[in-house]
Structure 1
Amino acid sequence: MVSINIDNLLKGMRSSSNAVFMDEDNHIYGLGQCRGDLDMNTCSACIGDASLNIKASCPDVSDAQIWYDECTSDNNAVIPDTEDYPSPASSLRSGLAKLLDKIKARIATDPTLGGFANAELQLTRSNTLYGVAQCTQDFSSDVCGKCFEGTKAEFEDNKPCGGKVGCKVFYGSCDFRYKAKQIDELSSRKSMMVSSF
């Protein structure tokens, strides 16, 4: 019975975008959300792909998440770039904090962004940081800001993102990614992460 309800939930997710799905009688919950800069067709296609692949990758579990570059479900994950940043780590950390504060301010002051914003910050004449962040749409800008504050801990030297030229941080209600080069807004959905527990 639970498997049938999960199938129905995933079918509903394939036909929509940026939505929360619930079957309260059976306590089944699903969240599909895309980056805020995507059009509805791209978003729906991504969520459709994700809902099909999550069932194939995690057939016998009732709690699973999947992430693509264009759409995500909720969970905690950190994906660092393998290359170290060329300047001192302290200036990178300081720059990341400023970049994230800039993004938080945009999200807090512009509700039309739907919890999504991007920004850039020039560290030196030759080094610029680019960032993209988003909260799930069921959270207020205050809760969103607190989630982003939590991501700052991932940039300490002893953490996976410490001193790296780029990193993606996925938390339960927000995600933040940065790079030392322009973020490719049309990146492929082929890079995915699947998690189940």
Structure 2
Amino acid sequence: MNNLFFFLLLAASIESPTAADGSANAYIYAGCSESRYAPGSPSQINVDSLLSSLVSASSSTPYSNLTSTAASASFPSFGLFQCRGDLQPSNCADCVRSAVSSISSLCPFAAGAAVQLDGCFLRYGNDSFVGEPDTSVLYKKCGASGGGGYGPDQIGIRDAALSALTGGGGNGGAGGYRVGAAGYVQAVAQCVGDQSASECDDCVAAAVGQVRAACGYAVSGDAYLGKCYARFWTAKGVEKTLKRTKVLTHKFLSSNDLLLY
């Protein structure tokens, strides 16, 4: 088993290879395993087949997990994607295509990789991670604070919006998609579709806890965990100038330890 490790990097230093900020295809983070497969090997054939099948599936469903043994059952490739619950099918498919393009660009010949775009998440590896809970923190960022952030009397509004996401709160949807709002603060959370309802609740609660702890009086915050995320932000017009600082921590995973970009 590979050793788990921590790696710190400013995500702001990496620009999206596929999309401009503000779209469902906007790049958030990616991770690549240090282990590689040989070009033309059975592993490459299985990975290529898997990614193609995931793209095909994304036109009809917001979540799918698949296994490819196209070249050899001795080198299986496991993978999944999850689209954001409010995306239309055509936008989901476009996002997954962009995610595959990002992985191909950032992680050539990687035995395992993951990419998070604004509208979808995609991951594959040569160990079966599907169905496993994972609340490890992969990525966190916070918006403006201090003079440009919330005051102590406004934290309750933020916390009310975030509380609507936990304990089965918010509204259901694809992959446990949940939304919350209080006053001028909006929030959203989602789990990967391989998680049970209780696993999703636990993961979202952990993500909300990370946002609260990390972002203090900030006017926005995101926390992406292994199998879910939680985000909050100020409604447009309330905070006209929002400068986001991006701070990233990660801990990757079993046999496909990923180096994050």
- TM above 0.5: yes
**Alignment identity in percent?**
24
Match of 2:164 among 102, 106, 109: 102
TM-score computed with the length of structure 1 as normaliser: 0.77
Which residue does 1:12 correspond to in 2?
Answer: 53
Specify whether residues 156 and 33 from structure 1 end up closer, same or farther in structure 2 by C-alpha distance, changes over 3 A only. Answer: closer
Q: How big is the alpha-carbon RMSD for the aligned residues of Structure 1 and Structure 2?
A: 2.7
Deviation at 1:114, TM superposition (A): 4.2
Specify whether residues 104 and 86 from structure 1 end up closer, same or farther in structure 2 by C-alpha distance, changes over 3 A only. Answer: closer
Specify whether residues 156 and 108 from structure 1 end up closer, same or farther in structure 2 by C-alpha distance, changes over 3 A only. Answer: closer
Distance in 1 of aligned mates of 2:76 and 2:207: 29
Q: Which one has a bigger Cα radius of gyration?
A: 2
Which residue does 1:141 correspond to in 2?
Answer: 197
Deviation at 1:55, TM superposition (A): 1.2
Distance in 2 of aligned mates of 1:164 and 1:28: 40
Match of 1:23 among 43, 63, 68: 68
Q: How many residues align?
A: 176
Which residue does 1:61 correspond to in 2?
Answer: 110
Question: What amino acid maps onto 1:51 in structure 2?
Answer: V
Which residue does 1:70 correspond to in 2?
Answer: 119
Specify whether residues 31 and 177 from structure 1 end up closer, same or farther in structure 2 by C-alpha distance, changes over 3 A only. Answer: same
Distance in 2 of aligned mates of 1:71 and 1:48: 10
* Cα deviation digits, residues 18-46 of structure 1 (max 9, x gap): 21122373342212111100111100110
Match of 1:81 among 140, 143, 147: 143
Which residue does 1:190 correspond to in 2?
Answer: none
Specify whether residues 114 and 142 from structure 1 end up closer, same or farther in structure 2 by C-alpha distance, changes over 3 A only. Answer: same
Higher relative contact order (CA 8 A, sep 6+): 2
Indicate if the aligned counterparts of 1:100 and 1:131 stay in contact, CA closer than 8 A: yes
Distance in 1 of aligned mates of 2:220 and 2:161: 13
Specify whether residues 77 and 109 from structure 1 end up closer, same or farther in structure 2 by C-alpha distance, changes over 3 A only. Answer: closer
Which consecutive unaligned segments of at least 5 residues does structure 2 have?
1-41, 124-136, 237-247, 253-257
Deviation at 1:66, TM superposition (A): 1.0
Which consecutive unaligned segments of at least 5 residues does structure 1 have?
123-127, 183-192
36-45 or 136-145, larger mean C-alpha shift: 136-145
Distance in 2 of aligned mates of 1:101 and 1:91: 15
- The DSSP-based 3-state class of the residue aligned with 2:231 is strand
Distance in 1 of aligned mates of 2:107 and 2:225: 20
Question: What amino acid maps onto 1:103 in structure 2?
Answer: L
Question: What amino acid maps onto 1:14 in structure 2?
Answer: V
Q: Which has the higher helix share?
A: 1
* Cα deviation digits, residues 141-179 of structure 1 (max 9, x gap): 21111111112332355x3x2321111211111111110
Distance in 2 of aligned mates of 1:167 and 1:156: 8
- The DSSP-based 3-state class of the residue aligned with 2:205 is helix
1:172 and 2:226 correspond: yes
Indicate if the aligned counterparts of 2:142 and 2:218 stay in contact, CA closer than 8 A: yes
Question: What amino acid maps onto 1:86 in structure 2?
Answer: Y
Indicate if the aligned counterparts of 2:208 and 2:223 stay in contact, CA closer than 8 A: no
Indicate if the aligned counterparts of 1:43 and 1:70 stay in contact, CA closer than 8 A: yes
Distance in 2 of aligned mates of 1:114 and 1:155: 20
